[in-house]
Amino acid sequence: MQAKYLDVIDLFLKLLSFESITPDDAGSLAYIRSYLEEYEEIWINEGGVKNLFLYKKFGEGDHLCFAGHVDVVPPGKGWQTDPFTPVIKEGKIYARGAQDMKGGVAAFVQTLRDAKSFNGTLSLLLTSDEEGEATYGTQIMLKHLEEIGMLPDYCIVAEPTCEEHFGDAIKIGRRGSINGYLTIKGRQGHAAYPEKALNPVHKIAPLLVRLAGVNLDEGDDNFAPSQMVITDIRGGMEVTNVTPGELKIMFNVRNSTKTTQEDIQHHIEKVLEGLEYTLKLTQGSYPFVTDRASKVVEMIDHSIERVTGIKPKLSTAGGTSDARFMGAYGIDVVEFGVINDTIHAPNERTSIDEIKDLYRVFSDLVNRFS
């Protein structure tokens, strides 16, 4: 087992050395393909994005897929070392992508390489377009897999999910994200003659309490309440003697499965009844949740506890990930990876022990999944 630990750390260091800023994989996908030479390959390259699917059929049982991304955000300023030359200091490895998410990729790639038997199919799905718009990433590959009848039954996305201790959290779903653009109409005028104007600020002021920070549902066992979060309010010409002709409000709702765009629209219609306004809603991602009793949830829960001694909590907190695309295809998907506390930050890092333990969790899961 010690040799396997050295293998996964060596692989991790190699992946960190690829300057794979979205959407450029910088050769990392070709390297992974050569590393898993016994697996069959499918490439889907579109819009300047490379997507790789590798699979190996061991038996007639379930199809378990590991998924993730090799692309990283730009390093930015403030690094103490070269962000694409991994450095080991006091048991931690520093480099861009260490947590998000080349540590997870290294762990499951090594797991697949070491797998000798499985009652079903093992696969991986990797993209170089997760940190960007994701237009030509995972969803393109999933569409192709559906067309050829190769969608997985279960999927594990190795995003960094743990909070304070490795093993303390699994994500079984994600909230959606709805953006709102609200314009309250008024009539511009002189501040000295407010009776001749229609000030949208005055009109909306007593109603804001029914919009700002309001919960649109009560939440449930999986999701916190969907809250309307005001992100911007502006109107007028930045002078003191002219009242504004309109007021613009922007907001975001991280919505659960209990709140939709239509629910938001109806709420605003009720609150702003009698006012002239326009409303535009857009949705970048949709909520999903995997049943807590799903095989993949129960199995990874057990593997984490066996390796770490920690009983992980089941969470849907945070932003979004490519797991949302799996959920849209009805695939039972969970996310599990290293601690998330330095992603996208200068001096991003993770510990050697976490990478070893993540490899142990994934290996235990594969060995016991059948």
Q: Is 262 a catalytic residue?
A: no
At 226, the amino acid letter reads: S
Does residue 249 contact residue 230 with C-beta atoms inside 8 Å?
yes
Does residue 214 contact residue 227 with C-beta atoms inside 8 Å?
yes
E strand or H helix at 127, and its extent? strand 120-127
Selected catalytic residue, list 24, 25, 71, 357: 71
* Nearest Cα to Cα of residue 322 among 30, 127, 98, 47: 127
Per-residue pLDDT of the chain (370 residues; tens, 9 = 90+): 455 667 999 999 999 999 999 999 999 999 999 999 999 999 999 999 999 999 999 999 999 999 999 999 999 999 999 999 999 999 999 999 999 999 999 999 999 999 999 999 999 999 999 999 899 999 999 999 999 999 999 999 999 999 999 999 999 999 999 999 999 999 999 999 999 999 999 999 999 999 999 999 999 999 999 999 999 999 999 999 999 999 999 999 999 999 999 999 999 999 999 999 999 999 988 999 999 999 999 999 999 999 999 999 999 988 889 999 999 999 999 999 999 999 999 999 999 999 999 999 999 999 999 7
Measured in whole angstroms, how far is the alpha carbon of residue 148 from the centre of its chain? 26
Selected catalytic residue, list 25, 130, 159, 246: 130
Torsional class of 90: left (φ above 0), alpha (ψ -120 to 50), beta (otherwise): left
Q: Is 130 a catalytic residue?
A: yes
Question: Which residue's structure tokens are 């911007």?
Answer: 232
pTM for this predicted structure: 0.89
DSSP structural state of residue 206: G
